[in-house]
Structures are given as C-alpha cells and as structure tokens.
Amino acid sequence: MRRVVLGLTGASGVAFGIRALEMLVGVDGIESHLIVTSAARLTIGLETDLSVAEVEGLADVVHPVRDIAAGPASGSFQTAGMLVAPCSIRALSAIANSHSSDLLVRAADVTLKEHRPLVLMVREAPLHLGHLRLMSQVVEMGGVIYPPVPALYTRPETLDDMVSHTAARALDLLGVEIDGMERWLG
C-alpha cells in the first residue's frame, strides 16, 4: 500500500485538492492521508457545496493539522509523496523556510528531506518577486511548483473538465496514474 499525503490550505481553488482526493479513492494500492488547515475549512464552505466532514470522508486517514506527532511528521513514515492543493502563499513561505509550525508544513518538510516528491499547487496571481523567490527556494530543495494552469490542448468543455485534468496531472507528478487522464500525443 502506497501512502499519498494531501494537504489543503486556505487559498482559493480547494476544488483541485478535493478532486485529487476523489481521484485517489478509485486508485488501487493507494492510502490517502489528508491534512486540512483551519483556513481550508473556511474555503471549503465558501467555494463548494460540501461540508468539511464530507471532504474528510473521502480520505482513508485524516490527520489534525495541529497533531505534529502524526505519522506524516516523521521520515520513517513511508509515503509516495505529498500534494498541497491549493497551496497558499503562507504555506509556500513556511515550507520554503522550513518553518514547521503545523503538521501540513512539517509533512512537506519531511517529504523534502526524505527526497520524496512534493508538489505545491500554488494558487496566487499576480506574483511578486518575493513569491517567485519562495518558489525558487522550494524547487532548489527538490519540490515541484505546479500552478493550476489548465491544459487547453485537452479542449475542456467545462470547468469540471479543467479541474479534473489539472488534479490528475498533479497526481501524475507523484507517480500516481489516473485512468482516463488525457496526455499530449503530438
């Protein structure tokens, strides 16, 4: 069983993280571990018709964001990697500076130190130089910055199509293949 850690922060775009979680439900051999920040709990209510309990119900394991003794806080807790979707600038800054004040940031820090895939779906625009420097720091440490930019070559017909493809691509970066994800064939 491969574990995938999924973090939701309070940035706009929580649908990407929820869709990734929904997709993980259908993947054999994957155990999802969810960490939801307090700001993400607010964003879920603002941007979706789901309750936090419904979102958490999609995960195999839910870890309270304040539980810094949870499994994902340790390098000996084997994972296939971590996706933070959406990733707020606050979380990006904490991760870039190894400021592990909660489980989400600690889990990301552990993912980097153990040289496992870390994908941050940074959701902010426009970006100033400070944002870009934080992203650069994370990339230099081995992380992947994956902004939720739609792949228009798939010719999405709905917003749901764009969210689904973007979430599937983020999981693909962790080595988790989602059936039906369109790929560029040239």
Residue 17: per-residue pLDDT: 99
**End-to-end Cα, the chain, rounded Å:** 34
- Provide the 10 A C-beta neighbour count for residue 177: 10
What are the backbone dihedrals phi and psi of residue 80, each rounded to the nearest 5 degrees, phi first? -85, -10
Q: What is the pLDDT of residues 55-67, one digit of tens each?
A: 999 999 999 999 9
Q: Where residue 86 falls among pLDDT bands split at 50, 70, 90?
A: very high
Q: Where are the beta strands (DSSP E) in 88-162?
A: 118-122, 144-145
Name every residue whose Cβ is closer than 8 Å to that of residue 33 and which is 6 or more positions away in sequence: 3, 4, 5, 6, 59, 60, 61, 62, 63, 71, 72, 79
Residue 182: per-residue pLDDT: 84
Report the distance separating Cα 96 and Cα 72, nearest Å.
18
**Is pLDDT of 186 > 90?**
no
From its phi and psi, is residue 180 left (phi > 0), alpha (psi between -120 and 50) or beta?
left
**Is pLDDT of 180 > 90?**
no
Domains of the chain: 2-172 (3.40.50.1950)
Residue 73 tokens, joined: 């806080």
Residue 181: per-residue pLDDT: 84
Angle at 4 (CA atoms; ends 58, 104), nearest 5 degrees: 85
Q: Where are the beta strands (DSSP E) in the chain?
A: 2-8, 30-36, 61-64, 81-87, 118-122, 144-145
Residue 163: per-residue pLDDT: 98
Mean pLDDT over each residue of the chain, to the nearest integer? 97
Residue 118: per-residue pLDDT: 99
